[in-house]
Amino acid sequence: MATFLPSVYAFFAAAAAGCLLATVFGELRRVGTDRLTAVTLSALVATLAAAAAVVGQFGRPALLFSVFSNPGTAIFRELASLLLALLAGAAYLAALRTGATRRTGRKLSLLAAASGLILALAVGSAAVQPWRPVWNTWTLVLPTAGFASLAGVMLAKSLGAAGHESAGPALSVLKKAEEKTGETASEPLWESTRLAALAPLVGLACYFAAASTRTALASLLTGANAWLFWAGVIVPSVLLSFLAAQFASDTLKRNPVLGIALATLSAFAAGAWQHLVLGLAR
């Protein structure tokens, strides 16, 4: 088994989860159908890539059929969550392409977002093993969920910015009105990039709060893998996202490329974290 495949799986799973979470944010913002279609297609592609990385870990694809006879295993949770994300994303995409009502679209986007969250949680659950002290905690599922949530909020920002630009002159008056009231209007909690940037930190803090993981924390902060923890996990996701929210919030709203780049870095951090977690007990 290629040692990089678990990290590749975590990267694409977090990216897919972020895209699916962004769909419900986009529905709340009444983003254009073309933008929602693009992010949903991205979610489906990322989910298929994550599934390929999982299957690649088997060595022999024939073993895949034995997974579904053991529903209590981590690999079953991974495959089941991938299948759920594919079905929910495909259903929401079908609703977008067939011109379903806004109410139906919101319901299906909620289902897609829920499947994305389940997918992110399944990534961390793969490392939970009772016989390993540093892996004997279900808080392992929280950091990846935090990275996926951060990616979702960043993608939602890019959807909003792009949506305004592609809305045409019919909505230009509305855009100007929003800009005038932007300073006084409070940002919804689900849209707060500052809070989203803290989500991975909360997940990491919950994991390292256990007594059995204190040694692992010390090794990650100052040990041989400290460079990957800081440069691959903390800086590209938490630090850059918080700095962007603090000092470039207007640019983040107007320039979709920045939000997409930060979302990609958050998914990269999920992959780096998966690599570090699997190496903690070696």
Q: What is the pLDDT of residues 86-105, one digit of tens each?
A: 999 999 999 999 988 889 99
SS3 at position 29 = helix
Residue 93 · residue 85 · CB < 8 Å = no
Find, among 215, 260, 223, 218, the residue nearest to 241 by Cα: 260
Q: How confident is the model at residue 68 (pLDDT cuts 50, 70, 90)?
A: low
Q: Which amino acid is at 93?
A: L
Q: Which amino acid is at 48?
A: L
Find, among 6, 19, 261, 14, the residue nearest to 142 by Cα: 14
pTM, full prediction? 0.85
pLDDT given at position 167: 42
Residue-wise pLDDT for 215-263, tens only, equals: 788 888 888 888 999 999 999 888 888 888 777 777 777 888 888 999 9
- How far is Cα 5 from Cα 78, in angstroms, rounded to an integer? 14
Q: Which amino acid is at 252?
A: L
Coarse DSSP helix, strand, coil percentages of the chain, rounded to the nearest 5 percent: 80, 0, 20
Q: Is pLDDT above 90 for 39?
A: yes
- How far is Cα 232 from Cα 269, in angstroms, rounded to an integer? 6
Residue-wise pLDDT for 188-204, tens only, equals: 666 678 888 889 999 99
Q: Which amino acid is at 65?
A: F
